[in-house]
Amino acid sequence: MDVLMTALPYDQTETLVQSLKSIEKDTEKVFLELSRALPALVQEMQQSLTRSDDAIRTMADTQGATAPGSSGSSTLLAETNRAVRDWESRFQALSERETALFDQLRSAVTSLETISSSIDQIKLDSEDMEIVSLNAMTVALKAGNAGRAFSYITEELKRLSNKTIALSDTVSKAGKDLISSFSGFENELEETRSAQESFFVSFQTRMTQSFEDFERAVESLITGSQELRDKSRDLKQPINRMMEAIQLQDLIRQSIDHIIMALEVIKPEETLEGRSELLDELAFLRQIPPLAESLIEDVARQIDESLGTFMTLTVDAEERLEELDRERKEFVRGTVVLPNKEEISFDALMTEISGILEELVSDLNTNLRRKAHLLSQSEMITGNVEELQNTFRTFHTLVNRFRSIDIAARIEVAKQSVLRAMGTSTEHMTKLTQKIGNDVESSLTVTQEFIESTATVMDNYRTLYQEEARFADTFQQDMKDHYRHLEASREQVNKIISGFSLFTERFFAVFRQSKENGKKLQNTSSEIRRLKEQLAAMRHTIETRYQEVLKEENLEDWTIEDTRLREIIERFTIFTHKQQAGELAGFTVEDGVASGDVTLF
C-alpha cells in the first residue's frame, strides 16, 4: 500500500464511541435525578394540598366547633345570642320592679302637696292668732290693773303666733325644697332608666353584631383559603406534564446504542483482505456517517423539543407559584371585607370588637354609678323627710302651748268682768287653736305615712340597686367569658392563617432542583450535535480513502449488496430510526413500534 494513503477512521470511531458513551452516562445521571425529583415533586404537591385541606378543615372546625369540647364561632354566636336574650329578660324584670318603685315614690311625693297645703293653712291661722292677740292686748291695756294678767297671756299668745308663723315659713320652705329634691330625683331617675333602656338596646345590637362580624370574617377567611387551595390544585397539570415531557431516558440510550452499533462496524484496514473486500467495506462505510448524523440529529431534536416543553411548563408552573404565593401573603394578612365596612384586618376587627365590649362595660358601670348617686340622693332625701317630721313635732309643742294659753285666757275672762268683752276673741282663739292643732296632727299623720312609704321605697330601691350591682358584675363576667372564648377562636384562626402555606419548603426545593436538572439537558443537546463535526470528518476520511482505492483500480464506482447495513438497521429498536436508516440506504423497512412507545422511567 502507498504510505501516503488515507487510513480508515478506526481511532476516530473509538473516540466518538467513548464520547457517545460519556454522553449516555451523563444523561442517564440527569434523568436519574429527574426520575427521583419529579415523582417527589408530585408527592410533595399532594402532601401540600392535603396539609392545606387540613388547615381549612381546622378553620372550619373553629367556626363550627365539630371537634369534641370545642367552641366554634358559630356556636359562640348562638350561645351569645341566647345569653343576650337571657340577660335582657333578667334586666327587664329588674326594670319592671324599678318602675313599680318609681310609681310608689311618685305617689308618695304627691302627699307632700297635702302637707304643704296644711302648712300654708297653719301659717294663715297663726297670722289670725296674731291679730287676735293684738286685739286682746288692747282690751287688757284698757282694763288697767284688772287686765294685767291677761296682758301677759296676750303677749305669750303673740309670741307663740310669731313662732308659729316663722316655723310655718321654715316648714313651708323645707317642704318645697323636699318637693324640689324629689322632683330632681324623679327626673334623674327617669334619665337613668332611659339611659339604661338605651344601653341594653345598644348592647343587644352591638354585641350580636360584633359576634356576627367575627363569624362573617371567619367565613371570609375559609372561603379565601378554599379559593387558594383550588387554585393550587391547578398546578397539578403542569407538574404532571413536566414528568411526561422528559420521558426520554430510554429513547436517548437506545438512540446512542444505535449510533454506536453503526460505528462499531468500522475495522482497521489491515484486517481486510484484497481490493474487493476493501471496496466492499468502503462502499458500506460511506453510509455509516450519514446514518449516525441522522440519528444524532433526531436525538438532539427530540431533546430540544422535550426540553422546550419542559421549560415552558416550568416557567408556567413558576409563574403560577409566584402568583399563588402573592395571594397567600395577602391571605396571611388576614384581611376581610364585611357588609357596610371597608376592608379590615382580622386583628383590627378583634380590636374593634374588644373596644365594643369595653364601651359596653363602661356604659354599664356609668349606669351603676348613676344608680349609686341616686341611692345617695335617696338617703339624703330620707334624712330631710325625717327633719321635717322633727319640725312638725315642734309644731306639736307650740299647739300644746296654744291650748294652755287658751285655757288661761278663758279663766281670766271669767274672773274679770271688765274682760267679758273679750269673749268673742277668746272663742276665736279657741277655734284657731283647735284648727292649728288639727292641721298639725293631720300633717304629722301624712308626714309619718310619707316617711314610712318613702323609707320602704328607698329600702327597696337600695335592695334593687344591690341586686343590679350583682347583676352587672355577673353580666360583665359572662360577657367577658364570651369574648374570651371569641379571643381563643381568633387566636386559633390567626395561628392557622399565619402558618398557612400552599406548598411545603421541600416542594420548592425539589421544584428548583428539577428546574436545574432540566437545564442540564441543554448541554446534552449541544454535546450530541458537536459529535456531528467528528462524523463529518469521519465521512471525509472514508470518502477520501474510497476515491483513492477507486482511482488505484481505475473504477468510477463500486456497488455492493446492502445486507450488512440492513442487518444493522434491523437491530434498531426505534422504528423511526429504522425508517430514517432505510431511506438513507434506499430500502423499505417493515412496520414496527412507533418512536413514542418506549420504556419510560
pLDDT > 70? residue 71: no
Phi, psi of 337 (to 5 degrees): -120, 120
pLDDT > 50? residue 492: yes
Residue with cell 423499505: 588
pLDDT at 329: 80
pLDDT at 595: 44
The DSSP bridge partners found for residue 345 are 335
pLDDT at 115: 75
Dihedral sign (CA 277, 281, 284, 286): negative
pLDDT at 72: 57
- Tally Cβ neighbours within 10 Å of residue 284: 20
Hey, what's the cell of 579?
425508517
Hey, what's the cell of 208?
350580636
Distance, in Å, from the CA atom of 600 to the CA atom of 576, rounded to the nearest integer, reads 17
- Mean of the pLDDT values across residues 51-64? 75
Distance, in Å, from the CA atom of 435 to the CA atom of 394, rounded to the nearest integer, reads 16
pLDDT at 14: 84
pLDDT at 593: 45
- pLDDT tens-digit profile of 375-416? 787 778 777 777 777 777 787 788 888 888 888 878 877 777
| Contact (Cβ atoms closer than 8 angstroms) between residue 412 and residue 153 | yes
pLDDT > 70? residue 449: yes
pTM: 0.57
Dihedral sign (CA 511, 512, 513, 519): positive
- pLDDT tens-digit profile of 187-228? 877 777 777 777 767 777 777 777 777 777 778 778 888 888
pLDDT > 60? residue 68: no
- pLDDT tens-digit profile of 134-160? 887 787 777 777 677 777 887 888 888
Distance, in Å, from the CA atom of 86 to the CA atom of 200, rounded to the nearest integer, reads 12
pLDDT > 50? residue 67: no
- pLDDT tens-digit profile of 539-597? 898 889 889 889 988 988 887 666 766 777 776 666 666 666 666 556 666 655 444 44
The DSSP bridge partners found for residue 336 are 344
| Contact (Cβ atoms closer than 8 angstroms) between residue 129 and residue 164 | yes
Q: Are strands 335-337 and 343-345 parallel, antiparallel or unpaired?
A: antiparallel
- Comparing CA positions, the residue from 218, 465, 470 lying closest to residue 334 is 218
Distance, in Å, from the CA atom of 289 to the CA atom of 303, rounded to the nearest integer, reads 21
What's the pLDDT band for 69 if we cut at 50, 70, 90? very low
- Tally Cβ neighbours within 10 Å of residue 186: 14
DSSP string for 273-331: -HHHHHHHHHHHHTTHHHHHHHHHHHHHHHHHHHHHHHHHHHHHHHHHHHHHHHHHHHH
- How far is the first Cα of the chain from the last one, in angstroms, to the nearest whole number? 52
Q: 120-138: b or e for each residue (b if 16 or more CB lie within 10 Å)?
A: ebbbbbbbbbbebbebbbe
pLDDT at 600: 28
Hey, what's the cell of 72?
366554634
| Residue 181 neighbours by CB under 8 Å, 6+ apart | 377, 380, 381, 384
pLDDT at 421: 64
Q: What is the CA radius of gyration of the chain?
A: 59
Residue with cell 392557622: 496
Distance, in Å, from the CA atom of 431 to the CA atom of 422, rounded to the nearest integer, reads 14
| Contact (Cβ atoms closer than 8 angstroms) between residue 513 and residue 39 | no
What's the pLDDT band for 3 if we cut at 50, 70, 90? very low
pLDDT at 572: 65
Residue with cell 303673740: 158
Give the chain's mean pLDDT: 77
Cα 420 to Cα 153, 157, 411: the distances in Å are 15, 18, 11
Hey, what's the cell of 181?
329634691
pLDDT at 580: 63
Distance, in Å, from the CA atom of 65 to the CA atom of 491, rounded to the nearest integer, reads 15
pLDDT > 50? residue 314: yes
Distance, in Å, from the CA atom of 134 to the CA atom of 244, rounded to the nearest integer, reads 132
